[in-house]
C-alpha cells in the first residue's frame, strides 16, 4: 500500500524522507520487521519501542512512525506523530481495509458482566442465523475456530487483523469485550461500533499500570459512548446516569429498580436458572436464563436490549438465553459419585464475589464453602473487603492464593484476613490453592456447594518467577481420582 494512503487518517507532526514509498507490511514488533515494512514505535509499560528502531531498520524497515526523536543509521522515512498508539490503530485499520465497517460491531464495557453478555448476544444471534465473531477475555472465536485470548481487548493491529479474518470467514456480526485499558490505550480507535453496552461500574483496576483513580477508570469506559452509534446503559449501576448524560450517541437504558426503556419485573430465581418479565420498546416477553442470580437478569437485560434494537425475534432470544454456557461463570464442575457440588466462577472483585456467594446462598441446601484469593500487584484495598464479604455470607471460607505475581503470597492472605476477622465467619488459611481445594472437597458434606472464585476460565497461575498451567477443572478431577484410588 502507498505510504501516503496508509497514513491519510493519521495526525502527523512532521515527516522526513520519501512519502511515495510502497509499504509491504506493518508491525509494532521490531523482530517482525521485514524489508519494506513500517515499524511503529510504541512506548509500552515494560519497554519502549523507540529503543528498537535501529533493529527494525537493520531488519529492512523503510518507514518509522515515532512520537520521540530517534537516531538511526540507514535510509528510512520517519513520520512523527503525537501518539504512536493512536497512529497504530488508524494505520492498522487502513492497512486491513477498515473491516469493522463491513460487519455489525457490538462492544461491551463495564466492570463486570462483559464476558457473559458477549456470550449471550452471540448465542442469540447464532440462533437467528447470523455468523458471529467473538472477542474477549476467555477466547477469540472466528466461526468454530477458537483462538486463546492474551488480553481482553487485543492490540489495535491484532484486532484489525482479527476483524479481517472474521470478515473473510463470512461473519456479519462481531461481539467484543471492550476493556478500560483497550479504550484508554487506543486499541479500539478506528473501530466502527454500531452498538455500545455499559453493564456496570465499581472499583477495580486501580493502581499499578492500570488507572490512577476511579475518575480515570470511568472516563476510559465512557470513551465507547463517544465512538458508537447507539448505546445501551444500565442506569441501576453507579455512573450509569453519567454515561447517559455525557454520551455522544443515542442511548437506550435498562434497569430493574429504576424506570428505563428496558426493565425486568416479576423475577423468580431457581437453583439453576432465573426467569422474569421483560418490558422493552420492541416487545414484552417472559424470559428464562440458564444461569441463576440477579446479576444474570442484568446481563440478560443488556443482551435483550441489544437484540431487541437489532430487530431479532423474541423466539430466538428465548432460545439463545436458554442454551447458554459461559466458561468460568457459575460453571458447575462434574463430581460423579459425590453428593456435593463444585462451582467455578471468575469473581475477583468485591461486587462480583458478593453476587455469586449471595446467589448460591439463596438456594444451597447444605453449607456454602467459599474458596478464594486475590491477585498480587493489584489494588490492595479490595482484599479486606472481599474477606469481609466471604466471612459474612459463606458458612466456611478457605483463603488461598490466586495469581500472586511478584507479591509475597502471605502478605496477600494477611490483607484478606483483616476483613474476615471483622465477621463471625469460620475460616482457614491455606496458601497452596490445590491444597485449599483438596481441603474443601475432603471436608464437604451432603448438599454443600463449594464455590471456587477468582480463576474462572483461566488455565494458568502467575508467580514471581514463573507462570504454570493451572486449570481448576483438572484440579478437581485429579483430586476425585486420587480419592478414588485411595479408597
**What would the 3-class secondary structure string for 295-348 be?**
HHHHHHHHHHHHHHHCCCCHHHHHHHHHCCCCCCCCEEECCCCCCCEEEEECCC
Residues 117 and 85 in one domain: no
Closest residue by Cα to residue 221 from 303, 111, 115: 111
What does the pLDDT average to over 25-29? Answer: 97
Whether residues 369 and 278 share a domain: the answer is no
**pLDDT for res 320:** 96
Same domain, 236 and 138: yes
Distance CA 307, CA 322 (A): 15
pTM: 0.90
Least confident of 148-152, 237-241, 260-264, 291-295: 148-152
Q: What value does the mean pLDDT of the chain take?
A: 94
Q: Domain limits at 186?
A: 99-322
Residue 166 — φ and ψ, nearest 5°? -65, -45
Residues 134 and 244 reside in one and the same domain? yes
At 487, the pLDDT band (50, 70, 90 cuts) reads: low
Looking at the 3D structure of the chain, how many domains does it have? Answer: 3
- φ/ψ region of 266 (left if φ > 0, alpha if ψ in -120 to 50, else beta) reads left
Q: Identify the bridge partners of residue 449 per DSSP, sorted by sequence position.
A: 341, 368
Q: Are 329 and 437 in contact (CB under 8 A)?
A: no
Asked if residue 269 and residue 175 are part of one domain, the reply reads yes
Residues 206 and 347 in one domain: no
Residues 197 and 345 placed together within one structural domain of the fold: no
Share of the chain above pLDDT 70, in %: 97
Kindly report, residue by residue over 97-130, the tens digit of the pLDDT.
999 999 999 999 998 999 999 999 999 999 999 9
The grid coordinates of residue 38 equal: 513500517
Show Cβ contacts of residue 367 under 8 Å, excluding neighbours closer than 6 positions: 395, 396, 445, 448, 449
Same-domain pairing of 135 and 282? yes
Domain co-membership, 316 together with 436: no
Q: Which of 322, 345, 365 is the last residue of a domain?
A: 322
Q: Which three cell numbers stand for residue 403?
A: 495469581
CB 371 within 8 Å of CB 449: no
What local confidence, expressed as pLDDT, does residue 243 receive?
A: 96
Q: What's the confidence (pLDDT) of residue 271?
A: 83
* 109 and 61 both lie in a single domain: no
CATH code at position 19: 3.40.1390.10
Type and span of the H or E element at 278: strand 274-279
- For range 381-385, the mean pLDDT: 96
Q: Which of 322, 346, 368 is the last residue of a domain?
A: 322
pLDDT at 355: 92
Of 322, 355, 382, which marks where a domain is finished?
322
Among 134-138, 227-231, 268-272, 330-334, which is the least confidently predicted range? 268-272
* CATH number, position 475: 3.90.190.20
**Do 474 and 337 reside in the same domain of the chain?**
yes
Q: Which helix (H) or strand (E) holds 134?
A: strand 132-135
Q: What is the CATH number of the domain that holds 229?
A: 3.40.1190.10
**Residues 359 and 293 sit within 8 Å (Cβ to Cβ):** yes
Angstrom distance (rounded) from CA 351 to CA 448: 23
145 shares a domain with 205: yes
Say yes or no to pLDDT of 186 above 60.
Answer: yes
Dig out the grid coordinates for 49 from the structure.
519501542
Mean pLDDT of 170-176: 97
Amino acid at each position: 500500500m502507498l505510504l501516503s494512503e496508509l497514513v491519510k487518517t493519521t495526525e502527523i507532526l512532521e515527516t522526513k524522507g520519501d512519502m511515495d514509498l510502497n509499504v509491504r507490511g506493518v508491525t509494532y514488533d521490531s523482530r517482525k520487521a521485514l524489508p519494506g515494512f513500517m515499524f511503529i514505535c510504541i512506548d509500552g509499560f515494560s519497554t519502549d519501542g523507540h529503543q528498537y528502531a535501529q533493529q527494525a531498520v537493520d531488519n529492512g524497515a523503510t518507514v518509522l512512525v515515532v512520537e520521540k526523536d530517534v537516531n538511526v543509521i540507514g535510509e528510512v522515512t520517519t513520520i512523527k506523530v503525537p501518539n504512536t498508539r493512536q497512529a497504530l490503530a488508524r494505520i492498522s485499520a487502513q492497512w486491513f481495509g477498515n473491516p469493522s465497517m463491513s460487519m455489525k460491531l457490538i462492544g461491551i464495557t463495564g466492570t463486570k458482566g462483559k464476558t457473559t453478555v458477549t456470550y449471550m448476544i452471540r448465542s442469540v444471534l447464532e440462533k437467528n442465523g447470523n455468523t458471529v465473531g467473538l472477542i474477549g477475555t476467555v477466547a477469540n472465536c472466528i466461526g468454530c475456530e477458537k483462538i486463546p485470548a492474551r488480553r481482553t481487548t487485543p492490540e489495535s493491529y491484532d484486532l484489525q487483523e482479527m476483524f479481517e479474518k472474521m470478515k473473510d470467514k463470512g461473519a456479519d456480526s462481531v461481539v467484543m469485550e471492550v476493556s478500560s485499558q483497550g479504550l484508554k490505550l487506543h486499541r479500539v480507535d478506528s473501530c466502527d461500533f454500531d452498538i455500545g453496552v455499559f453493564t456496570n461500574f465499581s472499583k477495580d483496576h486501580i493502581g499499578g499500570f492500570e488507572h490512577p483513580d476511579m475518575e480515570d477508570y470511568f472516563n476510559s469506559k465512557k470513551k465507547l459512548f463517544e465512538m458508537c452509534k447507539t448505546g445501551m446503559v444500565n442506569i441501576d449501576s453507579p455512573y450509569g446516569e453519567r454515561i447517559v448524560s455525557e454520551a455522544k450517541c443515542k442511548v437506550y437504558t435498562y434497569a430493574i429498580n429504576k424506570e428505563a426503556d428496558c426493565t425486568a419485573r416479576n423475577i423468580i430465581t431457581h437453583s439453576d436458572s432465573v426467569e422474569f418479565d421483560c418490558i422493552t420498546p420492541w416487545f414484552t416477553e417472559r424470559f428464562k436464563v440458564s444461569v441463576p442470580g440477579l446479576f444474570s437478569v442484568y446481563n440478560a437485560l443488556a443482551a435483550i436490549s441489544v437484540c431487541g434494537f437489532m430487530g431479532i425475534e423474541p423466539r430466538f432470544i428465548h432460545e439463545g438465553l436458554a442454551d447458554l454456557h459461559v466458561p468460568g461463570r457459575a460453571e458447575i464442575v462434574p463430581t460423579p459419585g459425590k453428593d456435593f457440588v463444585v462451582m467455578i466462577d471468575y469473581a475477583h472483585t468485591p461486587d462480583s464475589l458478593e453476587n455469586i456467594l449471595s446467589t448460591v446462598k439463596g438456594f444451597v441446601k447444605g453449607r456454602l464453602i467459599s474458596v478464594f484469593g486475590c491477585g498480587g500487584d493489584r489494588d490492595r484495598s479490595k482484599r479486606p473487603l472481599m474477606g469481609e464479604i466471604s466471612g459474612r455470607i459463606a458458612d466456611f471460607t478457605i483463603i488461598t492464593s490466586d495469581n500472586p505475581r511478584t507479591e509475597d503470597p502471605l502478605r496477600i492472605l494477611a490483607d484478606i484476613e483483616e476483613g474476615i476477622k471483622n465477621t463471625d465467619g469460620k475460616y482457614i488459611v491455606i496458601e497452596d490453592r490445590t491444597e485449599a481445594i483438596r481441603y474443601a472437597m475432603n471436608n464437604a458434606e451432603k448438599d454443600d456447594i463449594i464455590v471456587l472464585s477468582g480463576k474462572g476460565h483461566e488455565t494458568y497461575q502467575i508467580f514471581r518467577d514463573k507462570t504454570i498451567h493451572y486449570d481448576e477443572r483438572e484440579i478437581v478431577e485429579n483430586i476425585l481420582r486420587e480419592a478414588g484410588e485411595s479408597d
